[in-house]
Amino acid sequence: MTIACLHTAASNIAIFDQAAASLGIAPTTISHLVMPHLLAEAELSGGMTSQQQAQITALLDSLTPWFDAILITCSTLGPVADGFHNAANDCQVYRTDRMLADEVHRRGGKSLVLCAAESTLAATTALFCPSTLAGLPPEVRLIPNAWATFKAGDQQGYRRLIKDAVNQARQQGADHVALAQVSMAVAAQDFTEEQRPLTSPLLALQRFA
């Protein structure tokens, strides 16, 4: 099994490597591709344009012969995986936030999905709150100033904002809290196992463990 992780932030490499280690997945199984310009372009456009989506689709096509699976770890780029199909080989392309959404839907109850980046808000809401969803839809909430703090390089401040948002969600009665972006997963370490929010790296890699 060979897995490629398509990231838009280099800090996500350590997060996925840590999740893989906890699941007993060999480090040689995973390759990391970091392309921050893809997110930067989408943010400038207020979200992915059709041209950007076509460029990313072409990139995925070029990668599929070399891997068994490709994980798109960026929530802004994730929707590309939904319409991707390559009949030339068996490589599957996944969006890690969909794996997280599937788990939130499976658990049911009152759920809150926290976002850090505003550019992901529309795609995340569409993913977690589809019109076809039976039962109570999750609430999707943006954490104010979180992404600006992350981009400024203030990792401790970023982690603190996420932790405070998770605690607030628990106080407001959320049965489950999910962290929509991979970069947010670092804050999960600040909670006990019982109170730990759901994160996409661990859920995504469990499929291959």
pLDDT band at 162 (very low <50, low <70, confident <90, very high): very high
91-106: average pLDDT: 94
State the pairing for strand pair 176-179/198-199.
parallel
Between CA 74 and CA 117 the distance in angstroms is 10
Is the pLDDT at 142 greater than 90? The verdict is: yes
Please tell me the predicted confidence (pLDDT) of residue 135.
Answer: 81
Is the pLDDT at 2 greater than 90? The verdict is: yes
Please tell me the predicted confidence (pLDDT) of residue 89.
Answer: 85
Q: What is the pLDDT of residues 21-73, one digit of tens each?
A: 999 999 899 999 999 999 999 888 888 899 999 999 999 999 999 999 999 99
pTM, to two decimals: 0.87
Burial class of residue 143 in the structure, from the number of CB atoms within 10 Å of its CB (0-12 exposed, 13-18 middle, 19+ buried): buried
Q: What are phi and psi of 12, to 5 degrees?
A: -75, -20
Q: What is the pLDDT of residues 168-190, one digit of tens each?
A: 999 999 999 999 999 999 999 89
What are 153-159's contacts with CB under 8 Å, separation 24+?
155/11, 155/186, 158/116, 158/183, 158/186, 158/187, 159/186, 159/187, 159/190
pLDDT band at 119 (very low <50, low <70, confident <90, very high): confident
* Sheet hosting strand 198-199, strand order edge to edge: 139-142, 111-115, 176-179, 198-199
Beta bridge partners, 70, equal: 4, 93
Is the pLDDT at 194 greater than 90? The verdict is: no
Is the pLDDT at 100 greater than 90? The verdict is: yes
Helix (H) or strand (E) holding 112: strand 111-115
Do residues 199 and 100 touch, judged by C-beta distance below 8 A? yes
